[in-house]
Amino acid sequence: MRCRILHEIPGRLRVHMMQNYMTIEEADILESYLKGISGVTDAKVYERTADAVICYQKVQSEDDAWSLEREEIVRALSAFDYDRVNVEVPEHSTRVLTHQYVDRMAWHILRRGVSRVFFPISVRRVVTAVKSVPFLVKGLKSLAHAKLEVDVLDAASILVSMLRGDFDTAGSVMFLLGIGDIMDEWTHRKSVEDLAGAMSLHAEKVWLLAEDGQEVLVDINSVKEGDTILVRTGNMIPLDGDVIRGDAMVNQSSFTGEPLPVHKKEGSYLYAGSVVEEGELSIRVRNENGTGRYDRIIRMIEESEKLKSEAENRASHLADQLVPWTFGATLLTYLVTRDVTRATSILMVDFCCALKLSMPIAVLSAMREAKDHNISVKGGKFMEAYEQAETMVFDKTGTLTAATPVVKAVVSFNGQDETEMLRLAACLEEHYPHSMANAVVREAKERGITHDEMHSEVAYVVAHGIVSSVEAKRVCIGSYHFIFEDEDCVIAEGDEKKFELLPDEYSHLYLAIGGVLSAVILIEDPIKAEAVDAIAALHELGISRLVMMTGDSERTARAVATHVGVDEYHAEVLPEEKAAYIKSEHAKGRGVIMIGDGVNDSPALSEANVGVAINSGAAIAREIADITISEDDLMSLVTLRSLSDGLMKRIHGNYRTIIGFNSMLILLGMLGILPPATSALLHNASTIAISLRSMTNLLPEKQA
């Protein structure tokens, strides 16, 4: 497509697309396209002017004339075509929202200008009186409910101005209040929409029941209304639907608020995003992927705003408590000075708007910034608790160790074939996503081993393993404790020496068929490269106790704990023992953060002040957790600590600024320095300024 470079500096281009008019849809397509170009770090498209600003990495070519990235961008722009480009465009764009509020603001200002220029004074007074009615009604309603709130302040200031015959001041107050309301609603809506856009779910995999009865793992986008999908213990229900077979306990608290899992059976309705805690369900899909998902995310964010931090709650309560004091200052000023203008100036100022608006916007902005770092937070109270916690408990596998462990060897026993044992293990493990299970499935795939369903119903035993049957024989896969102690499996005669020689440096996954050990899968679970630095940084940021708890052996746990530098470790622990440890920390007065990724971590995640789940782990862990982080980078825990600390500092800073600035306005009004209209202007301007500042990033660019 033809375009013209308007301006450039190293690392930044501003180009104009040679088209007469750019639609919102075209702007979104172009912006997504530009962000997908290799070397581009950021891109912003302005549809009103058909301009695009492109930021890119500054790597110089040998002749020092053009950067390699710049050349690539120019070629990509030349090849761009709206009709031919294939890019993923956000389902919901904030451009529409911005246009709506810009138009509302322009219309609001235009009406005020027309009224002032073209209407005679008598008509303006009538218009002002009519416009005052909604404000007066809201104030009276507040009084009728025995509430002395900001609506009463607004109504009183407008009424007093009109009774004094100062209709210009009353009109100016309502005009400024209108601008403030538009800006307040705009900033809040934009914060919510930005966060929702960042949290929109990506394509997932789902088990589809094919016509021949086989279970097939398919992309969720290929599922149609009327198809049958299967969901088992620990997995999320990806689409709305009805249960046609099965029995399960489902956690749907994020949608209905029910604190306990709900029993679902044939005929029950299921919400997309709820999680099967126990059992298995066959579900006939009602809605295809995407239907209502964005609205549910919006609802979740709105619900999360109710999970306010203590600092937010204190500010909100103080705002309500200060209204009577404002009225008191107004009355006192009038009694002392007998000057209605001074008293009215005080009525123009309230603490409520700024305190109640800037705090939730600061939280929403922090949640949006966290999402930019692949961290999902369900509410401000969890960021505050994260900032205040002294103890952090880690699961080992998939948390401190790599989320992508690898199979080093498959050792067969009892005369079994190694390839067939890996095929069976992968067939069982693919139903329950966990880092160890993923390693088995990935190894089978890399070896080119297909594993169509060959077993009957699969049952998951929390913290132990998986049970099924093949050709009427019981098949078990899991830990040593599960295979040899719970299931009483044995080692075939003559295999004892081979079993004793299994190398200790790997984690062992045991597979038994018909009560006899058939294979041991040796899995290397390397420690994450950033684990040592993350542990050290968390210590520096105020986490005094860093603890690792794992169901793995004492030998493996000791080696990992020593390497990463945690303060203490506990090996061969069961899920209830993790939760019991957290209870003991609470009894000592310590706030606790729990990080885990499996179904067996769920009790501990629930017990902790803040539960943090790894996004590649079990869906039930993500559902129960208060925060979800990326599997790829343990340093996100450090980033979150810095974000949480920055958020609480911002909330306290906003609190001090609002109280100080508005108190100054009240004092200047009492002294007769500021007239009512100026007080109203400065008050509303400060509210908007603080709210806009609350939307900015907390972390400096070098950290972000």
How many alpha carbons fall within 13 Å on the CB side of residue 454?
Answer: 18
What is the C-alpha separation between 601 and 579, in angstroms, rounded?
Answer: 9
Residues 414 and 395 in one domain: no
| Tokens describing residue 93 | 């764009």
Residue 198 has a pLDDT of: 52
Under DSSP, is residue 602 helix (H, G, I), strand (E, B) or coil? helix
Count Cβ neighbours within 10 Å for each residue of 277-302 and write b for 16 or more, e otherwise.
Answer: bbbbbbbbbeebbeeebbebbbebbe
- Residues 311 and 177 grouped into a single domain: yes
Please tell me the predicted confidence (pLDDT) of residue 519: 95
CA distances from 158 to 198, 419, 465 (A): 42, 83, 70
What CATH number does the domain containing 594 carry?
A: 3.40.50.1000
450 plus 426 within the same structural domain: yes
Last residue of a domain, which of 32, 64, 89?
89
Q: Are residue 418 and residue 517 in the same domain, yes or no? A: yes
CB 553 within 8 A of CB 532: no
What tokens does 303 get?
A: 């619900």
- Compute the distance between CA of residue 674 and CA of residue 681 in angstroms, rounded to an integer: 10
Instruction: Round to whole Å and give the CA distance between 481 and 520.
Output: 14
Q: Over the stretch 104-122, which tens digit does the pLDDT of each residue have? A: 888 988 988 888 888 898 9
Whether residue 119 is found in the same domain as residue 244: no
CA distances from 248 to 243, 264, 689 (A): 10, 5, 51
Please tell me whether residues 252 and 393 are part of one structural domain.
no
Question: CA neighbours within 13 Å on the CB side: how many for 305?
Answer: 22
CATH number, domain containing residue 10: 3.30.70.100
Give yes or no: residues 384 and 330 share one domain: no
* 32 and 53 together in one domain: yes
pLDDT at 541: 92
Tell me if 41 is assigned to some domain: yes
The domain that holds 212 is classified in CATH as 2.70.150.10
Task: Measure the CA–CA gap between 340 and 669, rounded to whole angstroms.
Answer: 11
pLDDT, residue 271, reads 77
Coil, strand or helix at 552:
coil
Range of the domain at 252: 205-288
Pairing of strands 568-570, 545-549: parallel
- Find, among 388, 381, 393, 395, the residue nearest to 589 by Cα: 388
- pLDDT digits over 514-558, tens only? 999 999 999 887 888 889 999 999 999 989 999 999 877 787 788
Q: Give the residue from 234, 261, 288 where a domain finishes.
A: 288
> Which residues sit opposite 407 in a β-bridge?
523
Residues of the chain under the 50 pLDDT cut:
60-66, 201-203, 290-292, 702-704
254 located within any domain = yes
Q: What is the pLDDT at residue 702?
A: 45
Asked if residues 17 and 50 have their Cβ atoms less than 8 Å apart, the reply is yes
Q: For residues 394 and 593, give the distance between their C-alpha atoms in angstroms, rounded to a whole number.
A: 9
Let me know if residue 564 belongs to a domain: yes
Q: Is residue 300 part of a domain?
A: no
Q: Is 366 a domain residue?
A: no
If one counts the domains in the chain, the total is 5
**pLDDT at residue 567 in the model:** 94
> How far is Cα 489 from Cα 475, in angstroms, rounded to an integer?
10
**CATH for 413:** 3.40.1110.10
The reply to whether 106 and 15 lie within a common domain is no
Q: 288, 320, 341 — which closes off a domain?
A: 288
What pLDDT sits at residue 86? Answer: 77
Residues 392 and 532 occupy one common structural domain: yes
- Tell me, yes or no, whether 637 lies in a domain: no
Q: Which of 637, 646, 640 is nearest to 694 (CA)?
A: 646
Report the pLDDT value the prediction gives residue 396, as an integer from 0 to 100: 85
pLDDT at 533: 93
Asked if residue 230 belongs to a domain, the reply is yes
CB-CB neighbours of 443 under 10 Å: 20
Q: How far apart are CA 180 and CA 352, in angstroms?
A: 13
What count of Cα atoms within 13 Å lies in the side-chain half-sphere of residue 688?
16
DSSP string, 224-291: -TT-EEEEETT-B--S-EEEEEEEEEEE-HHHH--SS-EEE-TT-EE-TT-EEEEEEEEEEESS-TTT
Residues 315 and 186 in one domain: yes
d(CA 85, CA 241) in angstroms, rounded, equals 34
Indicate whether 547 belongs to any domain: yes
Distance CA 623, CA 64 (A): 52
Query: Do 547 and 599 lie in a common domain?
Result: yes
